[in-house]
């Protein structure tokens, strides 16, 4: 599973609201809502966010192993 917790932490650290991120990155509110439930977003969206925040993908996403895959 992909988690966007690092993105949320980065936004707090940079004092940027999600709506401001959406404006900077040119993403919709529907796409922004996907981050709250760890739903799939395209690499294009990740690229736009990285460009808007001047960061790397590893700064905004993390992989959490699936418990079923570990067995």
Most distant pair of Cα atoms in the chain: their distance: 42
The topology under which CATH files domain 2-66 is 434 Repressor (Amino-terminal Domain) (1.10.260)
| Residue 70 confidence (pLDDT) | 54
- For residue 40, give the DSSP letter: -
- The tens place of each residue's pLDDT in the chain, 71 residues long, gives 899 999 999 999 999 999 999 999 999 999 999 998 999 999 999 999 999 999 999 999 999 998 865 55
Q: What is the pTM of this model?
A: 0.86
Find out whether 7 and 52 touch, Cβ atoms under 8 Å. Answer: no
Q: Spell out the domain ranges in the chain.
A: 2-66
CA atoms within 13 Å, Cβ hemisphere of 39: 8
70 phi and psi angles, rounded to 5 deg? -75, -25
């Amino acid at each position: 599973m992909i988690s966007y917790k690092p993105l949320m932490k980065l936004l707090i650290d940079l004092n940027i609201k999600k709506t401001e991120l959406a404006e900077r990155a040119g993403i919709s509110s529907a796409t922004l809502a996907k981050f709250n439930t760890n739903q799939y977003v395209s690499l294009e969206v990740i690229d736009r966010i990285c460009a808007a925040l001047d960061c790397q993908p590893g700064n905004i996403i993390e992989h959490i192993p699936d418990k079923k895959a570990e067995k």
